[in-house]
């Protein structure tokens, strides 16, 4: 059932999808972590792979950047490819001095003042939760792996280049610990189709200090997050 955005056919995409933003990160994970990884999409440069991690079939599919891109891909995966679970793995900026670069952050809820909610569901929803079931599994797995996992609310913004002081004040007013650009759309589509979704993020920018990691590090230095999500999916009841 190819779409204007995905060329995969029936059976190509697993029931569980891990969604980095960057297509190169999909390729990196497929080659380093999966067995039998097969390229199942390259339309529009969105290189996606399906393979196995410890006998669990999983698809890596890039979301691209921002609410519109995540909205398109997650909608088609849930609706047309019958995906049950999508876990976003991405990067975020931190508003809190308690969150340093390379810290792991599990998104319990996402806040946004986008119009995406009204256009998709006809409702005014500013805060939407991720899957408690998935979050419980991921939290337990992080402890088993000896990883420190912090949790809270993400601000999903429409504007990467924004007035930083205004945006920071707005996010903190709404109890957001980090800022990113995709989780709200993912969680909203999960709500729309009664599916499960969550986001695990690695802090790559400290907004309060200006400290950040390089573009290359964002591509390949996120192994703790990747290993956490892969070890978590083997515990999910299908």
108 noted as active-site residue: no
- Outline where 80-209 has alpha helix (H): 116-121, 132-144, 164-173, 183-193
> Is-contact 129 150, C-beta < 8 A?
no
- Active-site option among 22, 84, 103, 205: 205
Q: Is the dihedral angle over the CA atoms 130, 131, 136, 142 positive or is it negative?
A: negative
Q: How many residues does the chain have?
A: 238
178-to-46, 93, 185 alpha-carbon distances in Å: 26, 5, 16
Side-chain half-sphere CA neighbours of 162 within 13 A:
17
- Residue 2 in tokens: 């190819």
Kindly report the number of other CB atoms within 10 A of residue 209's CB atom.
11
- Residues assigned a catalytic role: 205
């Amino acid at each position: 059932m190819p779409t204007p955005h995905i060329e995969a056919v029936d059976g190509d995409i697993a029931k569980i999808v891990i969604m980095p933003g960057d297509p190169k990160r999909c390729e990196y994970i497929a080659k380093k972590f999966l067995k039998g990884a097969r390229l199942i999409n390259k339309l529009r440069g969105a290189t996606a792979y399906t393979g196995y991690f410890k006998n669990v079939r999983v698809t890596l599919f890039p979301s691209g950047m921002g609410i519109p891109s995540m909205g398109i891909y997650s909608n088609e995966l849930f609706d047309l490819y019958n995906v049950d679970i999508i876990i976003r793995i991405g990067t975020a900026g931190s508003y809190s001095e308690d969150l340093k670069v390379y810290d792991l952050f599990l998104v319990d809820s996402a806040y946004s003042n986008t119009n995406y909610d009204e256009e998709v569901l006809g409702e005014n929803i500013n805060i939407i939760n991720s899957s408690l079931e998935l979050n419980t599994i991921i939290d337990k797995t992080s402890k088993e792996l000896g990883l420190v996992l912090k949790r809270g609310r993400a601000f999903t913004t429409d504007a990467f280049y924004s007035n930083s002081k205004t945006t920071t004040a707005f996010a903190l007013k709404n109890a957001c610990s980090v800022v990113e650009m995709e989780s709200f759309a993912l969680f909203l589509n999960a709500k729309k189709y009664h599916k499960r979704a969550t986001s695990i993020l690695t802090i790559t920018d400290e907004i309060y200090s200006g400290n950040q990691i390089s573009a290359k590090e964002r591509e390949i230095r996120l192994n703790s997050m990747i290993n956490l999500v892969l070890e978590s999916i083997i515990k999910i009841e299908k």
